[in-house]
Amino acid sequence: MTKKYFLILIAVVLLINPVWGQTGNKPVKGINATSIAAPFKHYTAEQFMNILSIRGNQFSFDESKILFSSNKTGIYNIYSIPVTGGKTEQLTFSEKESYLLIGGFPKDNRILFRADSGGNEISHIFIREIDGSVRDLTPDPKTRSEFIQWSKDDKGFYYESNLRDPRYTDVYFMDIETFTSHPIFKNEKGYAGFELSQDGHYLAMQLGVGNHKTDIYLMDLKTNSLKNITEGSGEVNNRVSSFDMKSAKLYYATDENNEFDYLCSYDLATGKTETVMKKNWSIMGIGFSENETYRAILVNEDGRDALELWNMKKNAPVVLQLKSGGNVTGPRFSKSEKYMTFYHEVSGSPVDLYIYDFAKNKYTLLIETLNPEINRNDLVDAKVIRYKSFDNLEIPAIFFVPKQASAENKVPAVVYVHGGPGGQSRVGYRDQTQYLVNHGYAVLAVNNRGSSGYGKTFFKLDDLKHGDDDLDDCVAAIKYLKSTGVIDENKIGIMGGSYGGYMVLAALAYRPQAFKLGVDEFGVANWLRTLTSIPSWWEAIRKSLYEELGNPEKDEAYLKRISPLFHADKIERPLMVLQGANDPRVLKVESDEIVEAVKKKGIPVEYLVFDDEGHGFVKNKNRIQANKAILEFLDKYLKEKTEKYVY
């Protein structure tokens, strides 16, 4: 397990459609500095946050409906919609916790879903019975359980749970006739990424050996023998993808002797490994339809999710011919191979759900998520740009420019930093970004060194250099923003969540004159505490974290040096902090202490805590409150200078 799987919290930001690229500090193509902006409407936080969010689509057992999770009521519940389109039906009615779909039962209308308690990430597996009643199938309050997959014979499902040992997750099988479980694999080393072959013969998993080395192991469940199938590959990251439907091959991604993850197959009978696909971008995963008529591969192309769909019997691509390009994610094949569902989005339009009919070669929009109160033409599309950092390294970034921006009407800007370390600002729609841009703020989402998606050399560049080189990449974004000709160079702030929140605090503490303010969403202030208080179920990646960030038992001086809490006396610009009280990754005390330390200096600080949230805010009422407060803070200290606080 590597830093790719560490704090890529919910701050892997889904952002934009890379229409084109730009290198160097040059004006952004497409911005006419003397043009007069067309009239457009401003929208409220309520209107933006009430854009529908849908996730986790699955076919019902008889393929008559699509099941999915939606936050239509302000919190995620389970819904269904006919495959032919029409009215959605709400199936669960939670008012407290988000219910996230796992899938329908293979032979009836029962449903599996997962939920935690207040964002504490101790997820349980639940069943929604046909009569609508709900039951917790993994009820131990201290145990975290995660669904893996259904068995091929439809008699039950596999799942992982840390019931036996809080540090590691064992693999279990649950019989859906008796709802009794029995262990399949005892995990005593921190294996993760479990996949089972369709015939139940093999269990594949990965084991992090270090920060940049992950091996894949294959367990023969009949003979109880375990084999490292990537042994001897050196400092290489390998990642389990899936077995084929015939239980003949295991597919996995690797970066062995290559900058980007490429796709390989391992023949279970012969042990032979073959390269399946290699591109100049990382391959994210592969999936097959029931009879392997179709194959779907997802590729991370410069932060954009590209779907490569293939008809295996005809040995020919299947072209969806979507009208507007953009992001294609979440492909799901029906068991009959008649249909495929998928999500589609662009930077200026949120995720919509589609169904594709293979026989008719036709796709149909099932659910459009944009709030009907918002005119699509009032939203902005973004551009992928690149700028040079302090050492001439090229930094990818994603730029949203307000419609009213021009040389005559320069606008304030926010440098946005994603989570991680090792996250990536991605192609897609993000309501918070569109809300800020709609109200006159340019947003530049930087993929500083250490971000994933741009090759393993770029990925390693921030190791044990946090709050230093990666921070200077963010500071270098200021020069780029000034070069565009449409940004007010005296009104540039920094904002981010999780690791991005840490970067905000680091910027204010270590580069105190660079940005005019900072907005920290649940960011790390004290690495010593964070690295000694990681959740128990992260034990498997502790070594990787220490190699990436430092060992609190051996590197105390270094960790204090990069922890903003110990340098809060240097902060001199306004700070806003937002925190979930139940956050198991960045504890609330982190935010409490940095807020108190900055207040002692008399620096303006605003602090907002949500008692029913964890690492990230998912309830609409909280998201509305948070984004309203952020905009008010920006307006007060960035857009307009105040007499009390002069820069």
Q: Characterize the bridge pairing of strands 605-610 and 575-580.
A: parallel
Triad 279, 265, 216: Cα angle to 5°: 100
d(CA 611, CA 607): 13
Which residues lie across from 237 on neighbouring strands?
214
Cβ-based neighbour number of residue 86 at 10 Å? 10
Which residues lie across from 519 on neighbouring strands?
495, 576
Q: Identify the helix (H) or strand (E) that includes residue 627.
A: helix 620-634
Question: Are 254 and 236 in contact, with CB atoms under 8 Å apart?
Answer: yes
Dihedral in degrees, nearest 10, Cα atoms 588, 593, 598, 600: 130
- Angle, to 10 degrees, between the axis of helix 431-438 and the axis of helix 620-634? 40
Residue among 324, 298, 321, 310 nearest 381 (CA): 324
HEC per residue, 141-201: CCCCEEEEEECCCCCEEEEEEEEEECCEEEEEEEECCCCCEEEEECCCCCCEEEEECCCCC
Please, what are the domains in the chain?
3-47+374-639 (3.40.50.1820)
Question: In which residue are the tokens 């939203």 written?
Answer: 379
Q: Characterize the bridge pairing of strands 202-210 and 249-254.
A: unpaired
Question: Are 381 and 359 in contact, with CB atoms under 8 Å apart?
Answer: no
Would you state the pLDDT for residue 307?
Answer: 95
Dihedral in degrees, nearest 10, Cα atoms 600, 569, 562, 496: 60
Q: Which residues contact 224 (CB under 8 A, 6 or more apart)?
A: none
Query: What Å distances lie between residue 373 and 41, 42, 50, 72, CA to CA?
Result: 11, 11, 10, 15
Would you state the pLDDT for residue 267?
Answer: 98
Would you state the pLDDT for residue 338?
Answer: 98
Tell how many helices (H) and how many strands (E) occur in the chain. Answer: 10, 38
Amino acid at 35: S
Residue among 252, 242, 249 nearest 268 (CA): 249
Token representation of residue 580: 């979930």
**Given strand 124-128, what is the order of strands in its sheet?**
100-104, 111-115, 124-128, 134-136
Which portions of the chain are predicted below pLDDT 70?
A: 1-38, 324-325, 641-647
What is the chain's Cα-based Rg?
A: 24
d(CA 568, CA 558): 16
Token representation of residue 39: 């009239």
Would you state the pLDDT for residue 555?
Answer: 93
Would you state the pLDDT for residue 604?
Answer: 97
d(CA 184, CA 203): 9
Would you state the pLDDT for residue 325?
Answer: 67
Give buried/exposed letters for 444-472 (b at 16+ CB in 10 A, else e). bbbbbbbbbbbbbebbbbbbeebbebbbb
Question: Are 353 and 72 in contact, with CB atoms under 8 Å apart?
Answer: no
